[in-house]
Structure 1
């Protein structure tokens, strides 16, 4: 996790790291939920292979972060 946090800091992102989830099929890419002091949360994809962080979307009523073991119904 320290490598992921270092990657976010290198890219200039600041906030609270709330959730980490490995992207299926790889051990070098992760989905990360970050929150800020205004209560906003966003989903990012962090790639240790590409040494890059990519913003996905802001989490809200229409966009939520689902854990891997969540019920699909």
Structure 2
């Protein structure tokens, strides 16, 4: 099993949420997924009060959160493999 397929643990989720709060982000956490090839970086989808969803990259290695883009018709986040 490669690292990207490994489930994100509760402890990792709490650390990631801590990073978001430290940076001042608020909203609902939709999904957590590992970045391929690493076990210390994650993609996180968050939504705000208006239901707008955005993709972020969170690094436990660098203790940083980086906005990627707003999820819309042109930008989607795939959580399951296509059949």
TM-score bucket (shorter structure): over 0.9
| CA RMSD in angstroms, aligned pairs only | 1.0
Write out the 4+ residue segments of structure 1 that deviate beyond 2 Å after TM superposition. none
The one of 10, 15, 22 equivalent to 1:10 is 22
> Structure 1 length as normaliser, TM-score?
0.93
**Alpha-carbon deviations, 1:20-53, whole Å to 9, x = none?**
0000111100000000110100000000001100
| Structure 1 residues not aligned, in runs of 5+ | none
Structure richer in strand, relative to its length: 1
> Structure 2 length as normaliser, TM-score?
0.82
